[in-house]
Structure 1
Amino acid sequence: MRRSAIPSAGQPSPPTPPRSSARRASPLSLVLLGLGVFLLVLAPLLAWYVEPRAKRTPIDINSTTVMTGTGSYFDQETTATKEGEKLTVTRRVLGDVAKSEEDDVAVWNVSQTIDNPKTLKLDDPRRSFQWKKERWVTDRKTNRPVHCCDESPGAFAGEGYLKFPFDMEERGYTWWDSTLGDTVPLRFEGRKKVAGYEGMHYKGSVKKQVKVGIRQVPAVLVDDSASGQMNAEEWYSNEEIHIIADERTGRIIYASIAPKLALRPPGGDEDKVTLLQSDKIEFTEKTSREQVELARDDSDRLKLVGETLPVAGAAVGGLLAAAGAVLVVRGRRGRGLEGHPDGENAPRSAM
């Protein structure tokens, strides 16, 4: 027969097997620790990886900016220069998305018209006082010109065009002047607000007149003694250029120019006909407000990704990770007491 496992009288009971002393942390502590570590990893990732890749010139741009001012222009119908007239410069920019994605550059088709009161009513660029089309190609990261993709003009250069580089500095920049067909040095003039929004103010000029092309006109316009047609020389200057750009995005939020375009006979050194002249043509209030809002939105997004979220993520992540680690350690210590000789599982003395 099998003996009973029940101890006989007077014999001490065998010790109760101790509970498992496995040190397991609570689910809450693990969640806090994991979330904290995740945020600590995410913070530098946003600042060093995501934000630099967000600083890219847009390729799907479709914008219109308008500048207005008062000045003089040559009226071909009356063959006389009209004074004190309203002048309007309209620039339309449309991004070539397909070509931009293919070559990883920003390809912008630019159409610029200059209108006097007569041509403005026609709402047709072909009937404008002056119409120019260009195709600008730039590196999306540096904003530097890229010579490809049927760019026009081929001499396109400089650091600033419709926008400047990201994270502008308090130094001089070179700005592309389409009429000049060359760059103009700009000097930093401090900070200035536009519609309550602060930007970087730059100033430059083309004080000395520069020959920029030829135009076939009736010879009598530039030479009283000549007849027929003549290839007159076009001479250009720009007395004062003001540009205010957003520091973080490089977007231009205000611009003004003071251009002069005149005709001279071949080899002449005096202006005979003033084609266009104004002391100031500047962004309209509507255009400035629109540019400010776009700059503010883009700047806020870049700041959120590059500064706010990384700093907040690092701070919150550090606190959560620390809290989780403390709870894990406490939980392990508490679990460890279950197997302690003086604890709950300590052997009881025989009675």
Structure 2
Amino acid sequence: MRRRVSPVSLILLGLGTFLLVLAPMLAWYVEPRAAVNPIDIDTTAIYTGTGSVFDVDKVGTVPDQKITVTQTVRGDVADSERSGKAVWDVTTTVDTDKSLPAADPHDALEFMPGRWVTNRKTNAPAHCCREKPYFEGEAYLKFPFDVQKRAYRWWDNSLGATVTLNYRGTKKIHGYEGYRFTGTVPATRTGTRLVPGAIVGEPKRSQVLAEEWYANHLIELVVDQRTGRVIYAQVGPRKTLRAPGGKKDAAVLLDSQKLAFTTATQKDQVDQAKTESGQLRMVGQTLPIGAGVLGFVLAAVGVVLVVRGRPDPDTSESSQPPLTM
């Protein structure tokens, strides 16, 4: 007696097999290709705090000033598509209330334009596309995807070199948990600047090629583990001038114990981290697991129905012709 295979069982078996194939593809093929640095980024982060700044009009350092650091990042889509890299134009300005609001960023206390180019997948520096300045390290505006519990080399633009940031556990920012990294920068000579001699304690010299020194009291970054997005940032920059060959700071250009993301910037970064992390989790975990489980169930049911089948009425015993002698 033959058994008829139900079309439903074949459909279930086929759909289950499709889902079983789809599950690993989502986890091993689609998700890694979704975890890339964007090329159309357009974001602004603002740090605020108090500290001492050099007032050019008063020719001296003024304490207890409100300091605002504005960092704008915009992707160059055309260069990114042409190069296959993430090409981001970065503008950082340092202001006091005296220079805010500024119609021209060049009027700020400090103005630092730059172009950051990275491998979209690994976040490693890619030296092309008129990159400026030349930088190294593993992290700057963001960390790599899938952040690990280890030390990272973070590029400090003011230092012009990398700083080791050590993993310090987890920390919640507005209820969202991230990995915390910290580090410091000892006083380091970073360059020279031509200034009036009086500024560095040499009044008899009209112009002096003073030494520029930089330190950082504390760098603290809290990072989303899955995306590498920085959801909280705090720095403590100190920039000074010394007379040529001097052992002590002669003038303080900028000194703050703490410049940190504003509440609005923190919330915005957390919201974006939640969205991006959720999307990667869905593609890399939720959908593959769901597809795998559902595919297994549907395939199993389909196999059972195919094996069991049902009798074909045209080939039943009652339909067989009788045997004759």
TM category, shorter: over 0.9
CA distance in 2, matches of 1:309, 1:182: 41
1:69-118 deviations in whole A, cap 9, x for unaligned?
01000110111211111001100111111111111111111110000111
How far apart are residue 272 of structure 1 and its match? 0.8
Q: How does 1:137-216 map to 2 (within 5 A)?
A: 137-154=117-134, 156-206=135-185, 208-216=186-194
**Counterpart residue number, 1:298:** 276
2:101 aligns to what SS in structure 1?
helix
How high is the TM-score relative to the length of structure 2?
Answer: 0.96
CA distance in 2, matches of 1:25, 1:122: 77
2:201 aligns to what SS in structure 1?
coil
Q: Which amino acid aligns with 2:320?
A: A
**Counterpart residue number, 1:105:** 85
Bigger shift: residues 208-217 or 245-254: 208-217
Identify the match of residue 37 of structure 1 among 7, 12, 17.
17
| Structure 1 unpaired stretches of 5+ | 1-20
CA distance in 2, matches of 1:217, 1:22: 100
How far apart are residue 147 of structure 1 and its match? 1.1
Identify the match of residue 253 of structure 1 among 204, 209, 231.
231
Q: How does 1:339-350 map to 2 (within 5 A)?
A: 339-340=315-316, 343-348=317-322
Q: How does 1:215-230 map to 2 (within 5 A)?
A: 215-230=193-208
How high is the TM-score relative to the length of structure 1?
Answer: 0.89
Q: Which amino acid aligns with 1:59?
A: I
CA distance in 2, matches of 1:225, 1:118: 28
How far apart are residue 338 of structure 1 and its match? 4.9
CA distance in 2, matches of 1:197, 1:42: 31
Q: Which amino acid aligns with 2:72?
A: R
How far apart are residue 22 of structure 1 and its match? 6.3
CA distance in 2, matches of 1:220, 1:44: 69
Is 1:26 the equivalent of 2:6? Answer: yes
Q: Which amino acid aligns with 1:77?
A: D
Identify the match of residue 272 of structure 1 among 221, 241, 250.
250
* CA gap 1:95/1:274 in 2 versus in 1, 3 angstroms: same
How far apart are residue 121 of structure 1 and its match? 2.5
How far apart are residue 326 of structure 1 and its match? 1.3
How far apart are residue 33 of structure 1 and its match? 1.1
2:246 aligns to what SS in structure 1?
coil
How far apart are residue 123 of structure 1 and its match? 4.1
Q: Which amino acid aligns with 1:327?
A: L
CA distance in 2, matches of 1:121, 1:314: 56
Identify the match of residue 96 of structure 2 among 116, 120, 124.
116
Q: Which amino acid aligns with 2:165?
A: L
How far apart are residue 348 of structure 1 and its match? 4.8
Bigger shift: residues 65-74 or 98-107: 98-107
Identity, in percent, stands at: 50
**Counterpart residue number, 2:46:** 66
How far apart are residue 224 of structure 1 and its match? 3.5
Q: How many positions carry a matched residue from both structures?
A: 324
**Counterpart residue number, 1:334:** 311
| Structure 2 unpaired stretches of 5+ | none
Q: Is the 8 A contact 2:2 2:315 kept in 1?
A: no
CA distance in 2, matches of 1:63, 1:22: 68
Identify the match of residue 49 of structure 1 among 29, 34, 40.
29
How far apart are residue 122 of structure 1 and its match? 2.3
**Counterpart residue number, 1:15:** none
CA distance in 2, matches of 1:150, 1:294: 29
2:144 aligns to what SS in structure 1?
coil
Bigger shift: residues 164-173 or 220-229: 220-229
Task: Note the aligned Cα RMSD (angstroms).
Answer: 1.5
1:250-282 deviations in whole A, cap 9, x for unaligned?
000001011100111111111111000001000
CA distance in 2, matches of 1:64, 1:301: 22
1:4-31 deviations in whole A, cap 9, x for unaligned?
xxxxxxxxxxxxxxxxx76542221111
